[in-house]
Structure 1
Amino acid sequence: MALISSKMIALNTLAPGFELLDVISGRNLSLKDLKSDKAIVVMFICNHCPFVQHIYKELVKVAHDYKVQGISFVGISANDPIEYPEDGPDHMKKVAESLGFSFPYLFDATQEVAKAYDAACTPDFFVYDAHLKCVYRGQFDDSRPNNGLPVTGSDLKAALESILAGQPVPQPQKPSIGCNIKWRT
């Protein structure tokens, strides 16, 4: 596992469009289908990364809590399923169902969406406002596997609370840290 941090794209960058397979419903979903009139959280996650596994329970709770307030969430896995079969669509669906995802879990088979978002690691979080401009990119919180800090989602929640209050998202924003995306060679 190669430890890497997110690239921290420029704020106000427009969200790249996409249409990908949702492994839960079996339907293709687009950014246009998923966006809300408040914000959308685009998360690059996967099944096997210990950094993602570390936050899964709280991530599912945060997504549920903010979805009812009108914020959309989408998980995208872009890892190479040939080299990492546990990150393939069948396993993605099993994980989503076992954890009770309330958001679509999309498979980026070509890895073009991850490249368009300049995603680097799992987890990697991007929050776009109602106009699909990036207002947050970075970490879920300061917790990491084995660092002893509780998983709270505090950084992501602070961004979402600011959006709901009509306030600017807090600065500075810290990069996410996790496993590198498993690019095809």
Structure 2
Amino acid sequence: MAVSPPLCDFGWQAPDFSLPATDGQTYALSDIRGDRGTLILFICNHCPYVLAVLDRIIRDARDLRALGIGVAAICSNDATSHPADDFPAMQEMAQARAFPFPYLHDQTQSVARAYGAACTPDFFGFDAGLGLQYRGRLDASGRAAEKDARRDLYEAMKQVAETGEGPRAQVPSVGCSIKWKAA
């Protein structure tokens, strides 16, 4: 079922975290933080929305890192109900796709809850002071790869890197709902 997150709550402060990554390290928000901004994205291994745009996510992450934007991806899905999203599968995907960012495991789902993550993919773009400036889509093409589609996420985070502010007009991302653990 497709879900869209709420639009950007400008200035909302990024919650801190400390999570294990597929590269064997543990990362806190301070380890991810870039000099000119930070992008935290919630993804997973099985979501057809994520799989359709993963090459573009990787491209944009590389390009944003070159602009001084720190990037990390977090998987918060319940691996019991969705085994394709378990930690070993995350490690395989990160290595096979040569992720240019840490891929973090939020097993307790506390980070997803703190961020208010709604779907995969869900993008949180922060300024240098960790105030939210972007909560929108990756690009205008959605799940279909259009050659000349506007790179909304990249352009927004480039603007954040240059001015400290994100665009006021943002289109929400669409994806599969976070797979929450049973209560």
TM range (shorter): over 0.9
Q: Is the 8 A contact 1:7 1:118 kept in 2?
A: no
The normalised TM-score by structure 1 is 0.93
Percent sequence identity is 37
- For 2:155 and 2:166, the matched residues in 1 are separated by 8
2:179 corresponds to 1:182: yes
Distance 1:175 1:79 in 2: 20
Q: CA deviation at 1:166?
A: 1.8
Structure 2 residue aligned with 1:156: 153
Secondary structure of 1:43's partner? Answer: strand
- Residue pairs, 1:1-185, within 5 angstroms: 2-23=1-22, 25-145=23-143, 149-150=146-147, 154-166=151-163, 168-185=165-182
What is the CA-CA distance between 1:168 and the residue it aligns to? Answer: 3.1
Describe the shift of the 1:122–1:151 C-alpha distance in structure 2 as closer, same or farther (beyond 3 A). Answer: farther
Aligned residues: 182
Give the SS at the match of 1:179.
strand
Q: Give the 3-state SS of the residue equivalent to 2:63 in structure 1.
A: helix
Q: CA deviation at 1:150?
A: 4.4
3-state SS of paired residue (1:165): helix
Judge which range, 37-46 or 4-13, deviates more. 4-13
C-alpha contact 2:49 2:121 (8 A) present in aligned 1? yes
TM-score (norm 2): 0.94
* Distance across 2 between alignment mates of 1:64 and 1:173: 22
Letter in structure 2 aligned against 1:86: A
CA RMSD of the aligned region, Å? 1.6
Q: Which ranges of structure 2 fall in alignment gaps of 5 or more residues?
A: none
CA distance in 1, matches of 2:55, 2:148: 9
Between stretches 123-132 and 135-144, larger displacement belongs to 135-144
